[in-house]
Amino acid sequence: MTVRIFVPKDAAALALGAERVAKALSSEVEARGIDATIVRNGSRGLHWLEPMIEVETAQGRIAYGPVKASDVASLLDAGLATGRDHALCLGKTEELPFLKSQTRLTFARCGIVDPLSLADYRAHEGLKGLERAVTLAPADIVAHVTESGLRGRGGAGFPTGIKWKTVLDTPGARKYIVCNADEGDSGTFADRMIMEGDPFVLIEGMAIAGIATGATKGFVYIRSEYPHAIATMTQAVEIAHKAGVVGTSVLGSAHAFDIEIRTGAGAYVCGEETALLNSLEGKRGIVRAKPPLPAHKGLFDCPTVINNVISLASVPIIMDKGPVYYKDFGMGRSRGTIPIQIAGNARHRGLYEAAFGLTLGQIVDDIGGGTASGRPVKAVQVGGPLGAYFPRALFDTAFDYEAFAAKDGLIGHAGIVVFDDTADMLKQARFAMEFCAIESCGKCTPCRIGSTRGVEVADKIAQGIEPEKNRELLADLCNTMKFGSLCALGGFTPYPVTSAMNHFPDDFRPVPLVEAAE
Amino acid sequence: MVTLTIDGNEITVPEGTSIMRASMEAGIEVPKLCATDMMDSFGSCRLCLVEIQGRAGMPASCTTPVAPGMNVSTQTQRLKDVRRGVMELYISDHPLDCLTCAANGDCELQDMAGAVGLRDVRYGYDGSNHVKARDNGGINLNWAPKDESNPYFTFDPAKMHRLFAVCAGL
Ligand SMILES: Cc1cc2nc3c(=O)[nH]c(=O)nc-3n(C[C@H](O)[C@H](O)[C@H](O)COP(=O)(O)O)c2cc1C
Ligand code: SF4
Ligand code: SF4
Ligand code: FES
């Protein structure tokens, strides 16, 4: 029987040499006359073990990693094709503690299937949600999504069902589904992993959204830094189209839905929904004032659902297994699961999907395994470049939208970046302001001028120039930006700055170099 | 028609009216720089912020339409602080030329600085700016010279305090 060997084609695995491993494996297998096919799967999300290759055996899949091209010969010598032991052998993939303790709903297939095989997708419960949706009235689909408690995974946590209902209830000759795949947050890669590892689930989710709201056209706006995701999504849409999953008759129903892939041009702010819409329309990516809401007047002034990749990719399982199944996971008003992305100076970097409710400490210490450097954890930034820094004292905070808000933080897109005790939090605060200055769309004063002044004030503090006065000025500036800015780029930049100042005051008191210089 | 309360005054205006316009009808002046009757509101200067009971944050009154029963405050201490903070940022990137400026005495920026009570620019004037041709001993790439090619008005980019500013008169 032909043995299947899996070598990820995920960008993170490729960056770590997966392509060389695949080449070496394919020529060695041929040279040795082994009857094997090499499947290029997505990543399982254990990034510190990438490239992690797997072989299918009668006992299940056996994993090896991290594998270099030069390891291939010795792996085959040891009996890789039959799942034999080797120094790099990790045992059964499903038994790896990092994977076993997860609740994989949205990422159920990621890393398991051949991303571009619709047959594989179907064999792993794919398309069941859409098959169900085409038999339901739009309002019933919306009711399902509302009941599931699903909230937007792009950052704001807005209830997805309510957004869909608004679009359903807004009359319009044309309506659109826009998938936000700009994924600009530092330390995040969930959108990319699903697009590269299980693209059909996103296509399925978008088609369901289309049927639920009356939209017949969808766009996926993918950041240009994701060439592999763009390629995989483009091919997957073609395959889905040919198979009648999308097109003039979705799964043979009376519903039409088409998807087009679009590429961004590198601006962080184009992840903000209204700037994204402007960019999609071919205009400069500048933030629009709300109202009008995109749900009323969005893309080309038509009613538009704009959702994050993970929000849309979570819909198929909700439609398949029912809203109650999904809602049963989680805590408080945060229902279902969330793909937590552990990055930075962490020992176990990768994607960990779990129900809401783990504490930050569990995530950082137990799952993430502490720092990669082995030094003590000083801070973690949760929620991307606009998220707050959490000190160890707040590690009992539960991963839940409201619990984080209560501690002046945010979950955002669920990226966690770990810092050890060598991090200088004043530098991190300065970086937040610098990032805002570079990425600002330039529309409004607090963000446009404030971020540049923020960098200058942080520099003065670092140089010991009137530190007390400048600390107060920085706090005042944060207040102006927080309440005065039009969108969350300027409005949330104070989160990392203020949290750094409040939790790590010592870093803001460097040895004075200059006496009062006025 | 929509009835709402602004600073304790009840007022009725047509649906779709902005809070800023409704305030004016009620005789309440909300500070502003970027809104004019000649253009659609844009919402960039952030001086016209207001607070609405039951809503988080500070929406711009020029881009926010009225709603029935809304209770709007235009003059809270929190608003005053933010407006002064915004004005301080504007002036930190503006030439201190009032005495010799053609717009002196008929200048919205000057008026607003006064209206929000700006006295001190704590950032100083040594930072990044569009005002000085040379900066810290080098050429300031943010600076552009005055355009005096038009006989009727002069365009001085350093004094351009808002996107899409109407430049005649500056
Ligand atoms: C500066 C900025 C950047 C953003 N970047 C992203 C992004 O990269 N991806 C994303 O899904 N949402 C991003 N958002 C959030 C979107 O504006 C919007 O809330 C989201 O796409 C809505 O989808 P959801 O309800 O499914 O989360 C960003 C917001 C801001 C203010
Ligand atoms: S806060 Fe910044 S990014 Fe957002 S609208 Fe204002 S200038 Fe643009
Ligand atoms: S444009 Fe500037 S310099 Fe001229 S009067 Fe107004 S505030 Fe003063
Ligand atoms: S007048 Fe409303 S933002 Fe400028």
pLDDT in tens, A145-199: 999 999 999 999 999 999 999 999 999 999 999 999 999 999 999 999 999 999 9
Q: Which of A483, A439, A469, A426 is nearest to B85 (CA)?
A: A483
B128–A289 C-beta distance less than 8 A:
no
For residue B154 and ligand 3, the question of a CB distance below 6 A is answered with: no
- SS3 of residue A257 by DSSP: strand
Q: How far is B20 from chain A (nearest CA, A)?
A: 15
What is the CA(B43)–ligand 2 centre distance, in A? Answer: 11
CA gap B56, B75 in Å, rounded: 16
Any B CB within 8 A of A296 CB: no
Residue A441, pLDDT > 50, answer yes
CA gap B24, B11 in Å, rounded: 10
Superfamily of domain A118-326: NADH-ubiquinone oxidoreductase 51kDa subunit (3.40.50.11540)
How far is residue A418 from each of residues A90, A187, A303, A501, B68, measured CA to CA in Å? 25, 9, 40, 18, 48
pLDDT in tens, B109-156: 999 999 999 999 999 998 999 998 888 788 998 888 888 888 887 888
Locate the DSSP E strands across A199-254: 217-222
A vs B: CB pairs below 8 A = 75
The predicted pLDDT at position A358 comes to 98
What is the per-residue DSSP string for A391-451? Answer: EGGGTT-BSSHHHHHHTT---TT-EEEEEETT--HHHHHHHHHHHHHHH--S-SHHHHTHH
∠ Cα A32 A33 A37 (to 5°): 110
Span of A247-256, A399-408, B121-130 with lowest mean pLDDT: B121-130
- SS3 of residue A234 by DSSP: helix
A457–B63 C-beta distance less than 8 A:
no
Residues of each domain in chain A carrying CATH 3.40.50.11540: 118-326
Mean per-residue pLDDT of chain B: 89
- Cα dihedral A66, A69, A70, A75 sign: positive
A398: which residues sit within 8 A by CB, 6+ positions away? A331, A356, A357, A358, A359, A360
A483–B82 C-beta distance less than 8 A:
yes
What residue spans define the domains of chain B? 1-75, 81-162
Q: Which atom of ligand 4 is nearest to the CA of B30?
A: 1
Residues of each domain in chain A carrying CATH 3.10.20.600: 329-420
Q: Which atom of ligand 2 is nearest to the CA of A481?
A: 1
The predicted pLDDT at position B138 comes to 87
Residue A226 token pair: 């994701």
A355: which residues sit within 8 A by CB, 6+ positions away? A103, A329, A330, A331, A336, A337, A338
Q: For the structural domain made of A329-420, what CATH number should be given?
A: 3.10.20.600
- CB neighbourhood size of A509 (10 A): 13
Q: DSSP label at A374?
A: S
Q: How far is B45 from chain A (nearest CA, A)?
A: 6
Q: How far is A480 from chain B (nearest CA, A)?
A: 5
The predicted pLDDT at position A1 comes to 79
Q: Is there a contact between B131 and B95 (Cβ–Cβ < 8 Å)?
A: yes
Per-residue pLDDT band for A513 (boundaries 50, 70, 90) equals low
Residue A517, pLDDT > 80, answer no
What is the CA(A286)–ligand 2 centre distance, in A? Answer: 8
Mean per-residue pLDDT of chain A: 97
Residue A261, pLDDT > 80, answer yes
Span of A41-55, A152-166, A277-291, B142-156 with lowest mean pLDDT: B142-156
Q: Which of A20, A103, A92, A54 is nearest to A367 (CA)?
A: A103
Tell me the chain A residues in contact with residue B82 when contact means C-beta distances shorter than 8 Å.
479-480, 483-484
Residues of each domain in chain A carrying CATH 3.40.30.10: 3-100
Any B CB within 8 A of A485 CB: yes
The predicted pLDDT at position A512 comes to 56
What is the CA(A397)–ligand 4 centre distance, in A? Answer: 38
What is the per-residue DSSP string for A443-456? Answer: -SHHHHTHHHHHHH
Tell me the chain A residues in contact with residue B89 when contact means C-beta distances shorter than 8 Å.
445-446, 449-450, 453, 480
Q: Which atom of ligand 2 is nearest to the CA of A485?
A: 1
The predicted pLDDT at position A327 comes to 98
Q: For the structural domain made of B1-75, what CATH number should be given?
A: 3.10.20.740
Q: Is there a contact between A418 and A371 (Cβ–Cβ < 8 Å)?
A: yes
CA gap A355, A339 in Å, rounded: 9
Scan for tokens 């008026």, then name that residue.
B111
Element (H, E) at A468: helix A467-484
Pick from A291, A449, A479: which is nearest to B82 by CB? A479
Tell me the chain B residues in contact with residue A444 when contact means C-beta distances shorter than 8 Å.
43-46
Nearest chain B residue to A443 by CA: give it: B44
- CB neighbourhood size of B45 (10 A): 30
Write down the pTM of the prediction: 0.95
Pick from A453, A483, A486: which is nearest to B89 by CB? A453
Q: Hey, what amino acid is at B118?
A: L
CATH class of A425-513: mainly alpha
Q: How far is B104 from chain A (nearest CA, A)?
A: 23
Phi, psi of A195 (to 5 degrees): -65, -35
Pick from B60, B88, B122: which is nearest to A289 by CB? B60
Span of A233-247, A447-461, B148-162 with lowest mean pLDDT: B148-162
Q: ipTM exceeding 0.90? A: yes
Peptide bond into A199 cis (omega under 30): no
∠ Cα A164 A169 A172 (to 5°): 100
Superfamily of domain A3-100: Glutaredoxin (3.40.30.10)
Q: Is there a contact between A53 and A90 (Cβ–Cβ < 8 Å)?
A: no
In terms of average pLDDT, the best of A318-322, B116-120, B160-164 is A318-322
Instruction: Outline where chain B has alpha helix (H).
Output: 19-25, 77-91, 108-115
Cβ-count burial A25-63 (b if 16+ within 10 Å, e if not): bbebbeeeebebebbbbbbbbbbbbbbbbbbbeeeebbb
CA gap A7, A13 in Å, rounded: 9
Q: DSSP label at A177?
A: E
B78–A483 C-beta distance less than 8 A:
yes
CA gap A9, A25 in Å, rounded: 14
A444–B58 C-beta distance less than 8 A:
no
Tell me the chain B residues in contact with residue A473 when contact means C-beta distances shorter than 8 Å.
122-123
Q: DSSP label at B48?
A: S
Pick from A291, A473, A486: which is nearest to B65 by CB? A291
The predicted pLDDT at position A515 comes to 55
A452–B90 C-beta distance less than 8 A:
no
- SS3 of residue A328 by DSSP: coil
